[in-house]
Amino acid sequence: MAIDFKKRLDEGVIVCDGAMGTYLNQKGVSYDRCFDELNLSMPDLVGEVHREYIEAGAEIIETNSFGGNRFRLATHGLENSLRDINIKAAKIAREAREISGVDVYIAGSMGPLGKPIEPFGKITLAEAREAFREQAEALLEGGVDLFMIETISRVDEMVVAIEAVKSVSDLPIVAQVTFTTEGTTYFGSSPPEMVQKILPLEVDVIGANCSVGPQKMLEVIEQLAELGVPYISAQPNAGLPRYYGGRFIYLSSPDYFADYARLFARAGARLIGGCCGTTPEHIKKVASLTSETADRRARIRVKERTGKAAEPVMPLGGVSTPFTEKLKKDFVVSVEIDPPKGTNPAKMIRAAKDLKRAGADAVNIADSPMARVRMSCMASANLIQSEVDIDIILHFTTRDRNLMGLQSDLIGAHATGIRNILALTGDPPSLGDYPQATAVFDVDSIGLIKIISKLNSGVDFAGNSIGKPTQFSIGMAANPSSEDLNLELERLRQKIEAGGQYIMTQPLYEIDTLKRFLDKFNNDSVPVLVGVLPLVSYKHAQFLHNEVPGISVPREIREIMNKAGDKSESVGASIAAEFIDKSRSLVKGVYLMPSFGRFESCIEIVKSIKKK
């Protein structure tokens, strides 16, 4: 496009288009579809949306490529079509401009990766940068005039995205972060923190989009103006959605939306458009009002920055509980109990009672181990708590819960009296009863520990107060048999920094493996409970060694189990007891895992441990 973007910003308000995804849904496209793929399968429909927004008065139209990065496309099996999808997105927008005969800007839309980046998630900064770079290259090849990086909820991800775009292009960049109704991002960053990190990167426009309606968006825009942002964008949703008749309905009318567009302009916004729920009717109203009321040649009001950026809340980490106090003075024994596969908890409660009588200090309640359907671990823990006076360590995985669900369930667990959490990523669904089920994995175990630490400091992950802080101790899992022990130790270091207090290992069978791990770990301040899973047969040993991730049964022990014959279960218990004796001086406790619900052998092991 021939018009200079900075010059156009100086002239006054630029009207951007409205929603793409929700408007496509209104036109009959299911939310189950990959909207970005429509560039290939339904280009005429995408072009129709662009033309409607141009006719409504938009001066910027965004390409249909919000989810066009490798991670989001991979959820639809389309990662190999990334280049085609993004190039086509730009070409469709260019064709719409040509057909309409209006010289509008084409903005290459780039949304978040869809999974958290490190340290909260598994995506490294380098991987994130590469993902943004390859999408930007494809959009650039397709012929965009500028880049719109939008709906980013973590400022660090925005920084990486900007760096990636700048590495391949010198086109203008609009950087838009999404804020909650509390005035912070989902990851707890405030507008001052955002500005502090993004302003030095010299993007052309800094602003906000999505998540909230016009009223809350105005508060953010006013803050950005006060912080000295030269060019500001505002693209709110059309209010909050309501689910009705199988669809999400957004309640803000075009007239109401336009009234706030006028306020955005007065507050200092130079780029105004809409996000989820907005339509060409909303943009038409915005275009008419901003052209009537905005001074198209006056520079926006810029105030001196007042005060320093808010300091982020520092996590408290894990807290002391009766269980962690026992770890300081006794050799602690905990035994894992799997919740029942059905609705009858009788066997589970009976096992907890027997273990308590045998001298066990705690029981671990597993969270659908091996990704198999079982009673909720929290319901199971509550049932045991009501019948047995014993410490409970609740296994808590990130597999089945998104960020909101993780925090809701943790707060609920605390309310029911749970105080010890073993933070786990969780087995992938492909291992279990429903391999077609979708895993969530918004965060991994490191991110989960950070979340628990935040709750222990009295705020949720976004920095919003939860009132009285939680009082969780935080356990960590470790695999001393890992093929990449250095990576395992590095992840442990990150877990400890995030607030982890004690380690519970995967099952071990060789004392040398434990010694090697402890020597390399070299941190006496963090208690270790060694995992022990008594073998019951040669077939069992073979299965664990060859089919269960994270467990290694040495060849010599498998051969012993093979020769044991009918006595294999008692031989397996003896092997476990001997290993515990050898490890007792090296660790602070043992974490027993019965196989197939056979608690009897573990009860005898607990009794023998407590006699010594």
pLDDT digit string, tens, across residues 10-66: 989 999 999 999 999 899 998 889 999 999 999 999 999 999 999 999 999 999 999
pLDDT at 306: 39
Coil vs helix vs strand at 135: helix
Quote the CA–CA distance of 155 and 309 in Å, as a whole number. Answer: 14
Under a CB-based contact definition with an 8 Å cutoff, are residues 355 and 597 in contact?
no
**Which pLDDT does position 251 carry in this prediction?**
65
Q: Chain centroid to CA 468: how far?
A: 24
End-to-end CA distance of the chain: 82
CA separation for the pair 282, 275 (Å, rounded):
10
Domains, the chain, in order of start with CATH, read 5-293 (3.20.20.330), 322-611 (3.20.20.220)
Q: Is the pLDDT assigned to residue 598 strictly greater than 90?
A: no
Average pLDDT, the chain: 89
Pick the more confident residue, 67 or 598: 67
pTM score, two decimals? 0.64
Contact status, residue 327 vs residue 589, Cβ threshold 8 Å: yes
By the 8 A CB rule, do 443 and 407 touch? no
Average pLDDT over residues 190-214: 93
| pLDDT tens by residue, 245-273 | 555 566 688 998 999 999 999 999 999 99
What integer is the mean pLDDT of 589-602?
87
pLDDT of residue 295: 41
pLDDT digits 0-9 by tens, 108-143: 999 999 988 888 788 999 999 999 999 999 999 999
Containing 25, the helix (H) or strand (E) segment is helix 21-26
Pick from 158, 169, 263: nearest CA to 216: 263
Q: What angle do CA 421, 427, 433 make, to 5 degrees?
A: 120
pLDDT tens-digit map of 408-420: 999 999 999 999 9
Least confident of 232-241, 337-346, 359-368: 232-241
Higher pLDDT, 235 or 368: 235
**Virtual CA dihedral for 490, 492, 496, 501, nearest 10 degrees?**
-160
Quickly list H helices, 294-332. 322-329
For 510-531, the pLDDT digits (tens) are: 999 999 999 999 999 999 999 9
Could you report the per-residue pLDDT of 228-246, keeping only the tens digit for each? Answer: 999 999 999 987 665 445 5
Q: What is the mean pLDDT of residues 143-169?
A: 95
Residue 400 has which token pair?
């089945």
Average pLDDT rounded to a whole number, residues 184-206: 92
CA-based nearest residue to 151, from 263, 249, 236, 253 = 236
Structure confidence at residue 433 as a pLDDT band (50, 70, 90) = low
What value does the mean pLDDT take over residues 63-83? 96
